[in-house]
Amino acid sequence: MPVLNKKNDNAVNEFNQYVKPVSLWADAWKRLRRNQMAVIGMWVVGIYLLITFGAGILPFYSYTDQELLHANLPPSFRPSGVVALEKLETRQVELVDALANTGREDLKRDLDRVTAEIAQVKLEVNTNPIHKRVYIMGTDYLGRDMLARTIYGGQISLMIGIVGTVTAGLIGILLGALGGYLGGWVDNLIGRFVDIMYSLPYMLVVIIIMSMIKDSTNATVLGLPINIIILFFAIALVSWLTMSRVVRGQIISLKNSEFVEAARSMGAGSGRIIFRHLLPNTMGIIIVYSSLSFPSFIMNESFLSFLGLGVSAPYASWGTLVAEGVQGMQLYPWRLLVPALSMTIFLFAMNFLGDGLRDALDPQSKNRT
Amino acid sequence: MSRFIVRRFLSVIPTLFIIVTLSFFLIRLAPGGPFSREKKVPPEILQNLMKKYHMDEPLLNQYFRYVGNVLQFDLGPSFKYKDQTVNELIGTAFPVSATLGFMSLAVALILGVSVGILSALKQNKWPDYLAMSVAVLGISIPLFVIGPVLMLVFALVLKWLPTSGWVNSRAGWATVILPVTTLMFPYFAYIARLSRSSIIEVIRSDYVRTAKAKGLKDSVVIVKHVLKGALLPVVTFLGPAFSGIVIGSVVVERIFVIPGIANIFVQAAFNRDYTLIMGDLIVYSLILISANFIVDILYGLLDPRISYK
C-alpha cells in the first residue's frame, strides 16, 4: 500500500520477509529424523516389511520342505551336508561309548540307524544339491530351514498386526468421530457399548472360541484356513475400542473451536466438518496410537498361537515357532532363539518408532512414559 | 462418594449377566460337545449321559437352570472329571493362581516404583539409562519369550532354580521365582517408565520447590510430597496391569506347569467341559471387575480433585 510508504520500508526486518510456510507434517518429519532411535526403528521395520512380504521373490528355501537328514542342525555358514555329517559322527561316537558302558539293545538299533545315515550322507554329499544348502539359522525337528520359517511366520504375524491396525482405524475413527461430534444418544450408545466390551475378559473369550473351532472344520476362505480368518476377525473385533475413545476425546476438544464455527457459518454440513476439518486435525494422534498398538496385535496373535489356539500347521507365526522351539530348547536352543529374537527385534523397533512418532506428531503429549 | 460406590457396584451386575449369557450361548453353538470323542459312545449311553447333565432339554431351559444354580454359587458338576464339581476344581486351583498373581503385581509395583524413583533422581545418568533400557526390553518382549528363555538360562543351563512345579513340590518356594519374574516383568517395566516420567514432572512443580526451600530433607520431600502426586498415573495403570497379569498367567502357568485356574481353563476349553469353562470364566470376570472397582475407588481417595457424583 503506497500510502504507508515509510523511509525504512526497504530495510530487511523479520516482518517483511517471506518465510516459507512449514506444514505440520514437514515439521513432524524433521523432529522424527532428529530422533536417532526412531530412525533406526523405522529402518528396521522397513527391512522387516520388505523381507517378509518380498519373501516370494527372494532366494529363500521353502518353509515347508522337510529334509529329515537335516533335522535339528545348528546355525552354520557351511554346507548342510558337512554339518549333518559332523553331527551324525559325534552321535555315533556317543552311542559307541554308551553301548560299551551299558550294552542296551535299543542303543544298538540307534547306532545302526546312525551308521546307515552316515553312509547315505557320505554317498550324496558331493552330488545331491540338497546337501549344498546353507542353513545360517539352523533347522527345526523336521529339517526345515529356520530362516525361511521365521520369515514366513512373520508374514502371518505382520498381517494380523496390519489387519488389526486398519480395522481399528476405520471403525474406531468412524464411531469415535460420530459419537464425539453428534453427542447425545449416539454418543451414549457407543460409549456404553465400548464400556461393556472393555469389561469383558476378551482374550479368555477368544481362547474359548479358538479352541471350539480348532479342529471342527477344514474349510478355507480366500486361500487361508478358516481359523486364521476367525483369528483375524476376533482380534479386529475389539481392536477399535481404544481408538474410538481417543478420537472421540480429540473431536470433542476440537468441535467448539473457531475454525469449525467458521466452517459451519459458511454452510458446511456435519459430514464435511467431520471429514474435512476435524479428522485431519486428529490424524497425528491417530497415527501415533496406531503405531503403538500395532505390536500389541502381534503379541495377542502370538499369545494364542503359543497356546496352540491360533495359526496351525503348515502355516506358522512367530508364536507357533516359539512354542515349537520351547519343546527342544535344552538341546537345540536356536529353535527357540531364532524366532524369539526376530520377534523381539521387530517389537523393539516398532516401540521406538511409535515413541518417536508420538514425540514428533504430538509434542505436548500427556501420555508420555 | 458412597453413592458412587453403590452405583458402581450395581453396574457390575449387568456386566456379569452379559458375560454369562454371551459365553453360555457361544460355547453351546459351537459344533461338537463334551461327549464327542475319537471312540464313538453307543447312542443309549450317550442318551443317558445327556439326560444326566440335562443336555437333552431345550437350550433355553438349560440356560435358566444354569443361571439359577450360579446364583446359588453352584457352578455344577464337571463334564470331564466325573467325580469332582467345578466348585472343588476351582477351589483347589484358585489359591495357586491368586498367590502367583498377587506376588507378581506386588513385585512389579514395588520394584517398578523404586526403579522409577531412582531413574528420576539420576535423570540422564547411567543408572537411568540402564534402568530405562531394561524397561524398554520388558515392554517389547512377550511373556512367552521371557519365560522359556529364563527357564533355559537359570533352570536348564545354570541349574540354579527348578524348571517347573509349585510350592508344594520338593523345591518349595524356589519354584515361585521364575514364574513371578516372568509374569511381573512387562508390568514392572511399564510402571518404572510411568513413575519415572511422572516423578520428573512433579519434581519441577512449585510445591516441591517450596518444600525444598523450607529446608526439608530430600527423603521427606520425595516420600511425602513427590510420591503422593506422582503415583496417580501408576494407580490408574493398576487396573490394566491386573487384567494383563490375569491373562498373562494363562501362558505362565502353561510354561512352568503350575496347577492354577488358567491351566484348568485352557484344558477345559480343549475338552469342551462346558461347566468348567463357564465357572472359570465367571471367576475371572469377577476378579477383573472387582480389580477395576477397587482401582476406581482408590483413585478417588488419592486424588481430591476427582469427585464422584
pLDDT at B206 over 50: yes
Count how many pairs of residues, chain A against chain B, have C-beta atoms within 8 Å.
119
pLDDT at A369 over 50: no
- Decide if B62 is inside a domain: no
Question: Span A47-58, mean pLDDT?
Answer: 82
Residue pLDDT, tens place only, A174-230? 998 888 888 888 888 888 888 777 777 777 778 877 777 765 556 666 666 777 777
| CATH code (residue B162) | 1.10.3720.10
Confidence of residue A367 (pLDDT cuts 50, 70, 90): very low
C-alpha separations of A51 from A152, A345, B124 in Å: 10, 14, 36
Contact B148 A340 (CB under 8 A): yes
Confidence of residue B36 (pLDDT cuts 50, 70, 90): low
Does the beta carbon of A201 lie under 8 angstroms from any beta carbon of chain B?
yes
The predicted pLDDT at position B110 comes to 92
Closest of B179, B146, B141 to residue B163, by C-alpha: B179
Q: Select the residue from A37, A212, A330 to test the B interface by mutation, using most B Cβ atoms within 10 A.
A: A212
A residues 275-314 near B, CB within 8 Å? 295, 299, 302-303, 306-307
Contact A322 B145 (CB under 8 A): yes
Both ends of chain B: CA-CA distance in Å? 7
- Decide if B4 is inside a domain: no
Instruction: Report angle CA B151, B153, B159 to the nearest 5 degrees.
Output: 85
The predicted pLDDT at position B111 comes to 92
Distance, in Å, from the CA atom of A306 to the CA atom of A311, rounded to the nearest integer, reads: 9
Residue pLDDT, tens place only, A135-144? 777 777 777 7
- Decide if B288 is inside a domain: yes
- Decide if B44 is inside a domain: no
Q: Is B210 helix (H, G, I), strand (E, B) or coil?
A: helix
The predicted pLDDT at position B106 comes to 92
Task: Tell me which chain A residue has its CA closest to the CA of residue B246.
Answer: A201
CA atoms within 13 A on the CB side of B133: 7
pTM, to two decimals: 0.79
Paired residues of B139 in beta bridges: none
What is the span of the domain harbouring residue B170? 86-302
Q: Kindly list the residues from chain A whose CB atom is less than 8 angstroms away from the CB atom of residue B31.
A: 212, 216-217
Task: Tell me which chain B residue has its CA closest to the CA of residue A205.
Answer: B23
Q: Kindly list the residues from chain A whose CB atom is less than 8 angstroms away from the CB atom of residue B148.
A: 322, 325-326, 329, 336, 340
- Are the CB atoms for B277 and B269 separated by under 8 Å? yes
Confidence of residue A11 (pLDDT cuts 50, 70, 90): low
Which of A14-18, A63-67, A152-156, B304-308 is modeled with the greatest confidence? A152-156
Contact B22 A329 (CB under 8 A): no
Higher pLDDT, A272 or B28: A272
| Residue-wise DSSP of B233-265 | HHHHHHHHHHHHHHHHHHHHHHHTT--SHHHHH
Closest of A123, A141, A144 to residue A133, by C-alpha: A144
CA atoms within 13 A on the CB side of B291: 24
Nearest to A199 among B15, B30, B254 (CB): B15
Confidence of residue A296 (pLDDT cuts 50, 70, 90): confident
Q: Looking at the complex, report in whole angstroms how far the Cα of residue B32 sits from the nearest Cα belonging to chain A.
A: 7
- Decide if B66 is inside a domain: no
A residues 341-360 near B, CB within 8 Å? 343-344, 347-348, 350-352
- Are the CB atoms for A146 and A318 separated by under 8 Å? no
Question: Span A270-296, mean pLDDT?
Answer: 84
- Decide if B193 is inside a domain: yes
Q: Select the residue from B36, B132, B133, B145 to test the A interface by mutation, using most A Cβ atoms within 10 A.
A: B145
The predicted pLDDT at position A366 comes to 47
Count the domains in chain B: 1
- Are the CB atoms for A245 and A258 separated by under 8 Å? no
Paired residues of A38 in beta bridges: none
Higher pLDDT, B192 or A1: B192
Q: Kindly list the residues from chain A whose CB atom is less than 8 angstroms away from the CB atom of residue B149.
A: 336-337, 340
pLDDT at B44 over 50: yes
Average pLDDT, chain A: 79
Which of A342-346, B68-72, B281-285 is modeled with the greatest confidence? A342-346
Does the beta carbon of A207 lie under 8 angstroms from any beta carbon of chain B?
yes
